[in-house]
């Protein structure tokens, strides 16, 4: 075990874990931040997407030892009061079915919109390629991203 100081959603956290522990399990098992989901463990489904220094990364494939002092944002920290333009758009389009993939979808979309505030549909397709939705809510996700882009 080793001690790591990491910054999550603006707060400094200390955890005592094996260096190879993916940040996904540090968040879930050690910091009670369970919004970040496990779906595949090999960076294929996007359910575990978080932001590292504002950029979307797959938490299942990111060992805690490689995080250093780069700030992490999880779905719990996407906005203070669930008022992110994407969260609003998710409500408007009633996006989720089972809901399991949605935190990862939101985090991927949020990081993407920051770099491309006015995307085309094809650009959204490309950016969201790494996020699976087993329930097939892709069309709503896409529409919600377009709505959020318009409203922000």
Positions touching ligand FES (CB under 6 A) are 38-41, 43-48, 58, 60, 96-102, 133-135, 137
CA dist., res. 110 & res. 116, Å (int): 10
Total residues binding another protein (CB under 8 A): 59
Both structure tokens of 113: 């919109």
Q: Which stretch binds another protein (CB under 8 A): 23-31, 51-59, 65-73, 111-119?
A: 23-31
Minimum gap (Å) between residue 41 Cβ and another protein: 6
3 phi/psi in degrees, rounded to 5: -95, 135
Indicate the DSSP class of residue 21: -
Minimum gap (Å) between residue 72 Cβ and another protein: 13
Task: Print the binding letters for residues 72-91 with another protein: x by CB under 8 A, - otherwise.
Answer: --xxx-x---x----x--xx
Q: Is 42 in the site for another protein (CB under 8 A)?
A: yes
Contacts of another protein in 53-72 (CB under 8 A): none
Half-sphere exposure for 75 (CA within 13 Å, toward CB): 27
- 3-state SS, one letter per residue, for 66-112: HCCCCCEECHHHCCCCCCCHHHHHHHHHCCCCCCCCHHHHHHHHHHH
- Give CA separation, 77 vs 23, 122, 144, in Å: 16, 28, 20
Specify the DSSP element, H or E, that contains 147: helix 138-151
By a kind-dependent CB cut-off of 5 to 8 A, residue 76 interacts, out of another protein, ligand FES, none, with: another protein
Q: Which residues sit at the interface with another protein, rule CB under 8 A?
A: 1, 17-18, 21-22, 25, 28-30, 32-42, 44-45, 47, 74-76, 78, 82, 87, 90-91, 94, 96-103, 106, 122, 124-126, 128-129, 131-142
């Amino acid at each position: 075990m080793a001690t790591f100081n990491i910054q999550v959603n603006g707060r400094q956290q200390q955890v005592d874990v094996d260096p190879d522990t993916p940040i996904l399990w540090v968040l879930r098992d050690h910091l009670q931040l369970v919004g970040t989901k496990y779906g595949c463990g090999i960076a294929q489904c996007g359910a575990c997407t978080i932001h590292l220094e504002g950029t979307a990364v797959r938490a299942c494939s990111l060992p805690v030892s490689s995080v250093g002092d780069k700030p992490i944002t999880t779905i719990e920290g996407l906005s203070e009061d669930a008022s992110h333009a994407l969260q609003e758009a998710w409500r408007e389009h009633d996006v989720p079915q089972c809901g399991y993939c949605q935190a990862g979808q939101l985090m991927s979309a949020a990081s993407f919109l920051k770099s491309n505030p006015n995307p085309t549909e094809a650009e959204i397709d490309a950016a969201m390629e790494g996020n699976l939705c087993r329930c097939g809510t892709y069309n709503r996700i896409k529409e919600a991203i377009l709505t959020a882009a318009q409203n922000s």
